[in-house]
Amino acid sequence: MTDVKQPWWRGAVVYQIYPRSYLDTNGDGIGDLPGISEKLGYIARLGVDAIWISPFFRSPMRDFGYDVSDYCDVDPIFGTLADFDAMLTQAHRQGLKVIIDQVYAHTSDDHAWFAASRASRDNPHADWYVWRDPKPDGTPPNNWQSVFGGAAWTWDARRQQYYMHNFLSSQPQLNLHKREVQDALLAAAKFWLDRGVDGFRLDAINFGMFDPEFRDNPPWPAEGRAITRPFDLQHHIHNQSHPDIPGFLARVRSLVDQYGAVFTVAEVPGPDPLPEMRAFTEGDTHLSSAYSFDFLYAQRLTARRVKASQSNWAGPFGEGWPSWAFSNHDAPRCVSRWCPPGANRAAFAKLTNALLLCLRGNPILYQGEEIGLPQAEVAFEDLQDPEAIANWPRTLGRDGARTPMPWSKDNAFAGFSEHKPWLPVGQGHAELSAAEQEGDADSVLNFTRRFLSVRSSSGALRTGDASFADVPEPLLAIRRMAGDETVLCLFNLGTDDQALPSGLAEGFVCLIEAGAGADMPTALGPHAVWIGRKI
């Protein structure tokens, strides 16, 4: 249910699909667009409002779709444009909005734009990418480092220059300062808007522009921090986060507004994302929303962290509207990061899903979170992720969050495919499959469905204000308020029983609970959840 006073996307629950790993329908071991179409009924029954599909564009797949070689075509491993159109039509019939990725900071080095750019220094595409002469001693133009390790510069013999890349050397940096480049990217966005998409997720958009003076980044001492790559040893104040980025985002907003209430959400990585998130989303002339890595890389879930993150977005809508993710295709799954050893993992998964759905903003639920899927252990010989391979064994392990979605125990590949998948099925994942949980009323899947139903009927949970009751950790108490509705959300983040302050839940009636009992609680068991509405 959508609040008629707000655009559809405000407070919407978004379900992220990593298409390579969702469902394989043609037997090549890789998920595809027809596989998404086949599971749209399952997604609609969850009760989410929208799906976000990670890149399915034509690509050499060196970074599995985030290295785009054609923004306006579907890679054959995922299907065809006709498959996309069919999926989009079916999603809309199911009441689901469709959001797709847009990668504006870089392309693949297989893109026709880059082939033209590297051909000479004086062709029409020559400055569509970032080229610099070497220093007199032949070394790169400055000290900028790539996220995936090593210098952010690669020598190109054709132009006798270095080109910049914040990620893989096969992902050359677009010169987003150039108006013609912006125009070309907006034309690609228009291509998908004309087909009927409902929103865009902008990948790593704070990497989109850089310091035109190419000044060195200052060092960031390693003391007290986990270092896995040279990138971690710099403050990234010159190779990203340029103050002109919001101006480009205003152009994006101007385009999408021509198509109605289109949702635009920015991914904003980095150690201090809040100023950029506000600049990217403030007012009604920039993006709809943004999300950071507040929770995605956090090693512990604490009430203090939740309060700090949520309190940054307690103001009016015009201040900016956040989105939240606890897991995704780039971060280890939250159940594995946060669930204490020996704890009931299903109870903990219910807690994290409920907490995500109680935050003020847009929850982004990653495929498999609805069934409490843990991170998979992927052996070195099975790794596909270039970052994981390059930094083994000190790595975030993105492959472990990208293993196939388990649908059943029907075959050796958990119902994902009839053939060996591109990544192995996670250990124990088949036992947690959607089919196994369907018939269990107490499963993580069915609890998440019930919670989504409760949330859809509550204006307070969708778009209401948020505040915190004064309770001792590891308890967490969130109040959500809209109009005459007040909802109290109680969580025990700890492993022991916790007494609630006297009278905290007095006057509230239970909407949904997990491990707490339907009566007005006086205590919460380990990882228990209790949600009530004031009467």
Residue 200, beta-bridge partner list: 100, 264
Q: What is the CA radius of gyration of the chain?
A: 23
Buried b (16+ CB within 10 A) or exposed e, 254-263: ebbeeeebbb
Distance CA 431, CA 346 (A): 12
For residue 230, count CB atoms less than 10 angstroms from its CB and return exposed for 0-12, middle for 13-18, buried for 19 or more. middle
Q: Which two tokens stand for residue 523?
A: 């205590």
**Two tokens, residue 41:** 């009924």
Residue of 24, 203, 385, 399 with catalytic role: 203
Tokens at 186, concatenated: 């907006």
Q: In the structure encoding, which two tokens stand for residue 61, read together?
A: 């797949």
E strands, 50-94, are 50-53, 57-58, 70-74
Q: Please answer whether residues 498 and 522 qualify as being in contact, where contact means their C-beta atoms are separated by less than 8 angstroms.
A: no
Q: What share of the chain is helix, strand, coil (3-state, %, to 5)?
A: 30, 20, 55
Question: How many angstroms separate the CA atoms of 72 and 56, rounded?
Answer: 10
203 is catalytic: yes
Q: Which of 198, 267, 294, 399 is catalytic?
A: 267
- Do the strands 199-202 and 263-267 form a parallel or antiparallel pair, or are they unpaired? parallel
Q: Are 193 and 255 in contact (CB under 8 A)?
A: yes
Q: Catalytic annotation on 377?
A: no
Alpha helices in 160-244 (DSSP H): 179-195
Characterize the bridge pairing of strands 323-325 and 529-534.
unpaired
Helix, strand or coil, per DSSP, at residue 293: coil
Strand, coil or helix: 530: strand
The H or E element that residue 534 is part of is strand 529-534
Strands 323-325 and 362-366, sheet pairing: parallel
The C-alpha atoms of residue 89 and residue 331 are separated, in whole angstroms, by 31
How many CB atoms sit inside 10 A of residue 379's CB?
8
Return the residue matching tokens 């971690």.
232
Q: What is the DSSP secondary-structure string of 349-364?
A: HHHHHHHHHHSSSEEE
- Residue ranges of alpha helices (H) inside 164-287 are 179-195, 245-256, 274-281
The catalytic site residues sit at 203, 267
